[in-house]
Amino acid sequence: MNKITVLDELRKSWAITVKDVKIYYLRPPALMFGILFPISLFFTFTIGRNIPNDRLIPLLAAQTVFWASSSIGPVAIPMERRMRTFERFLSAPLSLISVLWGKMMAGVIFGLGITMLATVLGVVLQGIMVTNPPALALGILLSTMSYSAMGILFASIPTGSPGQVIVPLNFFRIPLMFISGMFIPLEQMPTAGIYAAFLSPLTHTLDLLKLGTGGESFFGITTNIVVLSAWLLTFLFIGQMFHKIIMKQE
Using one digit for the tens of pLDDT, what is the confidence trace for 153-181? 999 998 888 889 999 999 999 899 889 98
> Mapping DSSP to helix (H, G, I), strand (E, B) and coil, where does residue 1 land?
coil
Per the structure, how many domains does the chain have? 1
pLDDT at 123: 77
Percent residues over pLDDT 70 in the chain: 93
pLDDT at 69: 92
Between 12 and 88, the more confident residue is: 12
Percent residues over pLDDT 90 in the chain: 40
Residue 246's pLDDT band (cuts 50, 70, 90):
confident
User: Mean per-residue pLDDT for 122-138?
Assistant: 82
> Mapping DSSP to helix (H, G, I), strand (E, B) and coil, where does residue 190 land?
coil
> Highest mean pLDDT: which of 14-28, 49-63, 201-215?
201-215
User: Mean per-residue pLDDT for 65-80?
Assistant: 91
User: Mean per-residue pLDDT for 121-143?
Assistant: 85
Residue 117's pLDDT band (cuts 50, 70, 90):
confident
User: Mean per-residue pLDDT for 29-39?
Assistant: 75
Asked if 153 contacts 69 with a C-beta cutoff of 8 angstroms, the reply is no
Tell me: pLDDT of 79 over 80. Answer: yes
Residue 107's pLDDT band (cuts 50, 70, 90):
very high
pLDDT at 3: 56
pLDDT at 197: 93
Tell me: pLDDT of 238 over 80. Answer: yes
Tell me: pLDDT of 145 over 90. Answer: yes
Asked if 172 contacts 200 with a C-beta cutoff of 8 angstroms, the reply is no
CA distances (Å), origin 169, targets 135, 141, 165: 28, 21, 6
Task: Give the predicted TM-score (pTM) of the model.
Answer: 0.89
* DSSP string for residues in 66-131: HHHHTSSHHHHHHHHHHHTHHHHHHHSS--HHHHHHHHHHHHHHHHHHHHHHHHHHHHHHHT---S
pLDDT at 137: 92
pLDDT at 1: 42
pLDDT at 165: 93
| Domain with 240 in it | 2-249
- Mean pLDDT taken over the chain: 86
